[in-house]
Structure 1
Amino acid sequence: MNSLVAYDDSDSDSEAEAGKYEDAASSEIGLADSAMRAVQYCGGLYTVSGSKGQPVECIGSSRRNVYHEDALLQNLQNIKKPMVTNYQKTFDPNLKIASRNHNHLLSSSMKPKLLSGNESCSQKRVHDDSDVPIQGLKPYIPKRMRLVKNAVPHEAECSGESTNCTIKIGTAEDRMSIKVSQYMMPYIGSKYGVTEIPKNLVFEMSDHSGPVNAVQWCPLQKWSHMLLSASMDKTVKVWDAVDQGYCLKTYPHHTCAVRAVQWFPCGSRFLSGGFDNMVHSIDIETGAQLFTSRNDFRISTLKIHPLDPNVFICGGFSPEVKAWDMRSSKIIKVYKAAVQQTLDIMFLPGGKEFLTSTDAVSQDSADRTIIAWDFHTAAKISNQIFHKATHCLLNIFRLVCNWKVIYKSKLQERYTCPSLTPHPKEPVFVAQTNGNYMALFSSLRPYRINKKKRYEGHKVEGFAVGCEFSPDGMLLVSGSSDGNVFFYNYHTSRIIRTLSGHSQACVSAKFHPVLPSLLATCGWDRAVKIWQ
């Protein structure tokens, strides 16, 4: 038999190898012919005989019909040709070798089957997928859903009023989905209860590599499980501080230490300022910079206008405080004072006036320590707030003691105020001072000091230690340079409890806006802690 694959320029060894495979192919085809001879056709059905010359009974018929083998072979020519063709395709013309899988082809295409009389005969081979599993199958997605998904791939999939939505927060490494906290669901929309003093440590999160300057809870109730933190390691982080206690996303948009940070009222973005002179508005979901401004001074404090979230005020190592409009990316007001640095900014109720605390303190005067400004006209309303307060205290002290030496020494006692915080329900505010006490002032003109209340016992010692009222206004909390957290009764000004919170200075403590017993603190030990 001639070789199925032959080349004119083949050498003797190749010809011998081809001849060997030709004999093997001939023997295989002979076996195939003998197998076909065993296939008998009877009444539209195929049957198998035990030997070559033995007649076969017809299955499924009431009459016994016998057919000879020679007549059957003529009807099976159409089966024999495709069988040989499939066998020929198993040869590789480049390597001149036959495939070893021809037995599989023969068995799959030529194995006869015994069919009963009730079955119909067909030459189609039934596909059996039990041996080869189908991989890579994907569920069908309707075209309308695919179009919607491709149209808004990075937008938030929730509205401002829905409580069943999911915020997708993506990072360079992976993407996370943050749902509304199930722990907080019973509290959303309910009236704030009585604030309880936290006692136990719930989470200690130490992902920052530098001192943490500030923490702040998200103001939107359904997303208030998120906590914002600003650090000296040049980053801002968003944490799940209620359910899991881990970092959701890190925002490395600053090139120097981040000193101030604040949420927007919508809860979907925040504002940050740092020592790189930059102010960024960042979308928490995508990490995109929605607004960026460069100042000519390092930023140490900033506040968003309470009535217009597109306007904010920032101050720092400069005698000027600037108001920006993010819609036009322009400075709309400049507030100038004869100071070197602005330490903190606080809006008064209504947003028409605001206060700034500065470092303008000399040995003989404390004027310009706290300055009241008119927001629209940029005019100074008062710059003698702390100056008058100091003289009032000293006059009382002189009348009681009548000691000129002590009065003279107290007259030289002037302190800066690193932070200001308003009361949530009453028209008063508290000023943290470097004299290791907090003074209470009226937020109405002429901003008189409360002579009966003075919150002292903690230590400041030059750190920017913050303070805050509880949402119900009953407690006042303050950090301390020794790492402790102090809780004061607002009405009696007495210390209720002290927590040993941090190993270094604790500079910020914030009550949760929804959960009455939850507190977040941060310090220079690079830790953010949650207490309950």
Structure 2
Amino acid sequence: MAGGGSGRVPTGHAAETFISEHTFREGHRAVEGGSASKKRKREGKGDPSVMSGAGAYRGPWAKYEEERPDAASDEEFGSDVEVEIVYEEDEIEDNPDRAPEKLAGTDYRDTEAEGERSEFVGSRQYDYQGRTYMHVPTDLDIKLSGDYEPKNFIPKKLTHTYRYHTKAITQVRFIPDSGHLLLSASADSNMALWDCYNQRELLRTYSGHNKSVVDIDFNPSGTQFVSASYDRQMKLWDTETGKCLNRFTSGKTPHVVRFNPGTPHEFLAGMSDKKILQYDTRSGEMVQEYDHHLGAINTITFCDENRRFITTSDDRSVRAWEYGIPVPIKFIAEPHMFSMVRSSPHPSGKYVAMQSSDNQITVYSSTDKFRQNRKKSYRGHDVSGYAPDVAISPDGQFITSGSGSGEVFVWDWKSCKVWHKIQASDAPVLAVQWHPRESSKLITGDNNGILKYWD
């Protein structure tokens, strides 16, 4: 090779010179490990049936053999000598003292080790006939069982205040049909059961989660309810005894849980990892998975006589499903849509009201077409940064929502006009539900943990 002249290179000054091909090859061999007679060999590939230890399979990852002393010839070692390799895993297995595992800052404790507790705190657990609070009272002015034709009026005055929780009320539920009991869930990780009649006292507390309880739902008979928490656990409780009957978890955070009214031993859970999971309360197993959304699930609403359900997500879409079939039958996603954070079915079974993050309530049909009703939009309240509940009166005449300003808004379902506003709190009102039997009873829960009963 020949060259002439000199020049600057990025790493300094280089001067060209002359070197013969033979000299170059000799120098290259010396750098690469000596002459051809001392060329390094790879270790044997090993036996594919051996996973670790001597003779383990190494395949194309076999290392080069270590350089041997000059005194040892190839004849002395043999051409196919096997080299024993000691792996670090073997030494670790022999060491009985393992370092304690440390939790990362985002890890959760195992709540199964926490234990669930429930305490009856009412004045009297049994009546003169030995019946518990689960018995529907019959000595009241209103009939709480049997057929009922609802007729609702707007509530105007505060009749009672319930105090127990220390943090925000996240959800409230009247016991199905009769409504004589009220269940509340809170960010203080506890749940409470209240009497809606008689002394209107706190009856029973339920604790067992170690983070905020985000949602609760009764089974159709009210004998059990399921709770979902940010500790990534869902728990099934006996309403009467307070016993935790089962635990469910997928390792992700549940955002919403709903029992199927037509299949009372199954419930759906909307998760933070965009999946909807279907659980059987009898076996404790997951029996179906719906995985088409692109963001965390926010709402699940049953429709069409519980044969179908509608879901919304942080991906700003609405999807409709056949119960038990993990393929959507309808997908709605338009540029103007925002995330829907809460929902409520209309008593007629034809519509679902959705609390949209752009300070309005939108309405979608829950029949075969599953499309938005552009004529129905309820505005005036502020929901930015919060997820206030939305509730429709049992007769379908009024639609109600909490707000970030502490007001409860009541709109007329047909005209979409604000009929009334209740200043329910000086903190955001997150939970609101109509009593299933009373004509004008409404419960609200605010960010301070206070429940208020309106009539």
Q: Same fold (TM over 0.5)?
A: yes
| 1:313-332 → structure 2 map (5 Å cutoff) | 313-332=268-287
Q: Is the 8 A contact 2:121 2:204 kept in 1?
A: no
Q: Distance in 2 between matches of 1:414 and 1:452?
A: 15
Q: Distance in 2 between matches of 1:184 and 1:329?
A: 41
Q: Is the 8 A contact 1:170 1:176 kept in 2?
A: no
Task: Please report how far the alpha carbon of residue 264 of structure 1 lies from its aligned counterpart in structure 2 after TM superposition.
Answer: 1.5
Residue of structure 2 in register with 1:195 after alignment: 152
Residue of structure 2 in register with 1:418 after alignment: 341
Q: Distance in 2 between matches of 1:170 and 1:310?
A: 25
Residue of structure 2 in register with 1:65 after alignment: none
Task: Please report how far the alpha carbon of residue 480 of structure 1 lies from its aligned counterpart in structure 2 after TM superposition.
Answer: 0.7
Give the alignment partner of residue 495 of structure 1, picking from 393, 418, 421.
418
Q: Distance in 2 between matches of 1:259 and 1:305?
A: 19
Task: Please report how far the alpha carbon of residue 180 of structure 1 lies from its aligned counterpart in structure 2 after TM superposition.
Answer: 3.9
Q: Distance in 2 between matches of 1:238 and 1:225?
A: 11
Q: Is the 8 A contact 2:429 2:445 kept in 1?
A: yes
1:204 aligns with 2:166: no
1:507 aligns with 2:430: yes
Q: Is the 8 A contact 1:521 1:530 kept in 2?
A: yes
1:454 aligns with 2:381: no
- Which residue identity lines up with residue 372 of structure 2 in the other structure? I
Task: Please report how far the alpha carbon of residue 185 of structure 1 lies from its aligned counterpart in structure 2 after TM superposition.
Answer: 4.6
Residue of structure 1 in register with 2:140 after alignment: 183
Task: Please report how far the alpha carbon of residue 338 of structure 1 lies from its aligned counterpart in structure 2 after TM superposition.
Answer: 4.3
Q: Distance in 1 between matches of 2:312 and 2:299?
A: 5
SS in 2 for 1:360: coil
| 1:454-473 → structure 2 map (5 Å cutoff) | 454-473=377-396
Q: Distance in 2 between matches of 1:521 and 1:172?
A: 22
Residue of structure 1 in register with 2:409 after alignment: 486
Task: Please report how far the alpha carbon of residue 187 of structure 1 lies from its aligned counterpart in structure 2 after TM superposition.
Answer: 4.9
Residue of structure 2 in register with 1:335 after alignment: 290
- Which residue identity lines up with residue 305 of structure 1 in the other structure? N
**Structure with bigger gyration radius:** 1
Q: Counting strand residues as a fraction of each chain, which structure ranks higher?
A: 2
SS in 1 for 2:361: strand
TM-score (norm 2): 0.69
Alignment size in residue pairs = 330
- Which residue identity lines up with residue 286 of structure 2 in the other structure? I
Residue of structure 2 in register with 1:171 after alignment: 120
Give the alignment partner of residue 354 of structure 2, picking from 431, 456, 460.
431
| 1:117-516 → structure 2 map (5 Å cutoff) | 171=120, 176-177=125-126, 178=133, 180-181=136-137, 182-183=139-140, 185-189=142-146, 191-221=148-178, 224-361=179-316, 369-384=317-332, 386-387=333-334, 413-516=336-439
Deviations 1:286-326 (A, max 9, x none): 11112211221111101101211110000121121100011
- Which residue identity lines up with residue 404 of structure 2 in the other structure? S
Deviations 1:236-276 (A, max 9, x none): 11001233232111100212110110111222221111111
Q: 1:283 to 1:212 in 2, by over 3 A?
A: same
Unmatched 5+ stretches in structure 2: 1-117, 127-132
Q: Distance in 2 between matches of 1:184 and 1:268?
A: 24
Unmatched 5+ stretches in structure 1: 1-168, 362-368, 391-412
- Which residue identity lines up with residue 314 of structure 2 in the other structure? D
Task: Please report how far the alpha carbon of residue 350 of structure 1 lies from its aligned counterpart in structure 2 after TM superposition.
Answer: 2.3
Greater length-normalized contact order (CA 8 Å, ≥ 6 residues apart): 2
Q: Is the 8 A contact 2:152 2:440 kept in 1?
A: yes
Q: Distance in 2 between matches of 1:193 and 1:428?
A: 18
Q: Distance in 2 between matches of 1:205 and 1:174?
A: 16
